[in-house]
């Protein structure tokens, strides 16, 4: 009998603070190239003189949150909050 | 090939990421400014060496002019590289600190920090190499004359012609950047060169 599959991270919604440039296109590309990611959506929210707050939705299979966090940090942006997380077993 | 290919792809991806940060910092625009400013410096400095040595002092040995010219090139290159690197580094460190307080995070070990260092080195290299290249171009006929017996007057005129061509090219480049008349912009630079040469030839009176 096969072991029941454990739920995997399939969706994360993050609130991110970043400077205007590089743009959300570069940030989206960076995250979309991570393992397991199949869909990235970014919506710009509050815009300040030097910075902007964006809502990033990442979907995929078996997402590695640590990798996502590391990539965003390396980009020079800050995760202000994790607004939604979905773990799904795909059953 | 598979492993090498994927390492190459990773490297390209990293370079693309860093390039995006450098573009955000408008590094190309700064480098372009330094390129013209310092190549102009280099061309005029070597023009003054050639004109004052030959027309004012009557130097007939090309080795002497090349030695003084190259010493000038090295000094301009070293001063350009170190001075710009330290200035750019200081400015970019300040900007990083500003960004750290705006983004409420430590930017150490991020692409922003790496791109900031890379930008300082890139701009400093442009600043250091531009005057050296501009100067070496004008010295080429004299370098050739060190190895082949050529008429010194013709060699000097060839060096001056190359120098004026360099100045014209720099002016034309500026004209293209500002989307103005390229030939007029190039001629303006040549006029400045001619003025400098005339001023230097007045040293004969000393």
Angstrom CA distances, B203 to B40, B45, B67, stand at 22, 15, 20
The yes/no answer to whether this complex scores an ipTM above 0.90 is no
pLDDT of residue A2: 62
pLDDT tens digits, one per residue of B130-185:
999 999 999 999 999 999 989 999 999 999 999 999 999 999 999 998 888 999 99
Average pLDDT of the segment spanning B86-101 = 92
Instruction: Give the confidence band of B120 by pLDDT, cuts at 50, 70, 90.
Output: very high
Best of A76, A79, A81 to substitute, by most chain B Cβ atoms within 10 angstroms, is A76
**Cβ within 8 Å, pair B17-A30:** yes
pLDDT of residue B6: 84
Option in B13, B104, B110 nearest A76 (CB): B110
* HSE-CB for A1 with a 13 A CA cutoff: 2
CA distance A87 to A71: 21
pLDDT tens digits, one per residue of B54-69:
988 888 999 999 999 9
Q: Does the pLDDT at position A78 exceed 70?
A: yes
In the beta sheet, which residues pair with residue A51? Answer: A19
**Cβ within 8 Å, pair B21-A22:** yes
Candidates 1.20.900.10, 3.30.390.10, 3.40.50.12160, 3.30.70.1340; correct CATH number of A12-88?
Answer: 3.30.70.1340
Angstrom CA distances, B74 to B32, B37, B54, stand at 21, 17, 21
Instruction: Give the confidence band of B190 by pLDDT, cuts at 50, 70, 90.
Output: very high
> What pTM, to 2 d.p., does this model score?
0.81
**CA nearest B19 in A: which residue?**
A22
- CA-closest candidate to residue B99, choices B14, B16, B17, B25: B25
Instruction: Give the confidence band of B1 by pLDDT, cuts at 50, 70, 90.
Output: low
Boundaries of every domain in chain A: 12-88
**CA nearest B100 in A: which residue?**
A76
Instruction: Give the confidence band of A62 by pLDDT, cuts at 50, 70, 90.
Output: very high
Residue with tokens 């500026």: B174
Average pLDDT of the segment spanning B99-104 = 88
Q: Provide the H-helix boundaries in B104-180.
A: 111-147, 152-177
Mean pLDDT of chain A: 92
Best of A16, A19, A22, A31 to substitute, by most chain B Cβ atoms within 10 angstroms, is A22
DSSP string across chain A: -PPPPPPEEEEEEEEEEEESSS-HHHHHHHHHTSTTEEEEEEEEEEE-SSEEEEEEEEEESS--HHHHHHHHHHHT-EEEEEEEEEEE---
Instruction: Give the confidence band of B16 by pLDDT, cuts at 50, 70, 90.
Output: confident
Q: What are the residues whose beta carbons fall under 8 Å from the beta carbon of A62, sequence distance 6 or more?
A: A8, A9, A10, A35, A36
Option in B24, B103, B113 nearest A78 (CB): B103
pLDDT of residue B202: 83
pLDDT of residue B128: 94
């Amino acid at each position: 009998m096969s072991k029941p599959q454990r739920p995997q991270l399939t969706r994360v919604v993050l609130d991110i603070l970043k400077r205007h440039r590089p743009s959300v296109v570069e940030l989206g590309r960076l995250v979309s190239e991570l393992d397991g990611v199949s869909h990235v959506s970014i919506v710009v929210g509050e815009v300040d003189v030097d910075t902007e707050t964006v809502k990033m939705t990442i979907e995929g299979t078996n997402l590695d949150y640590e990798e996502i966090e590391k990539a965003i940090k390396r980009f020079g942006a800050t995760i202000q909050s994790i607004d939604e997380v979905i773990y799904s077993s795909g059953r | 090939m598979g492993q090498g290919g994927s390492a190459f792809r990773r490297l390209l991806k990293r370079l693309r990421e860093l390039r995006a940060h450098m573009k955000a910092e408008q590094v190309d625009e700064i480098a372009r400014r330094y390129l013209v400013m310092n190549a102009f410096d280099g061309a005029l400095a070597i023009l003054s060496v050639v004109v004052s040595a030959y027309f004012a002092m009557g130097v007939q040995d090309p080795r002497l002019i090349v030695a003084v010219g190259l010493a000038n090139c090295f000094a301009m290159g070293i001063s350009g590289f170190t001075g710009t690197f330290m200035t750019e580094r200081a400015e970019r460190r300040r900007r990083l600190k500003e960004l750290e307080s705006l983004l409420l995070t430590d930017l150490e070990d991020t692409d922003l920090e790496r791109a900031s260092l890379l930008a300082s080195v890139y701009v400093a290299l442009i600043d250091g190499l531009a005057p050296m290249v501009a100067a070496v171009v004008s010295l080429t006929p004299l370098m050739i004359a060190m190895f082949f017996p050529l008429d010194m007057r013709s060699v000097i005129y060839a060096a001056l012609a190359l120098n004026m061509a360099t100045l014209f090219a720099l002016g034309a480049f500026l004209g293209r950047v500002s989307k103005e008349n390229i030939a007029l912009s190039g001629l303006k630079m040549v006029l400045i060169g001619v003025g400098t040469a005339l001023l230097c030839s007045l040293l004969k009176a000393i």
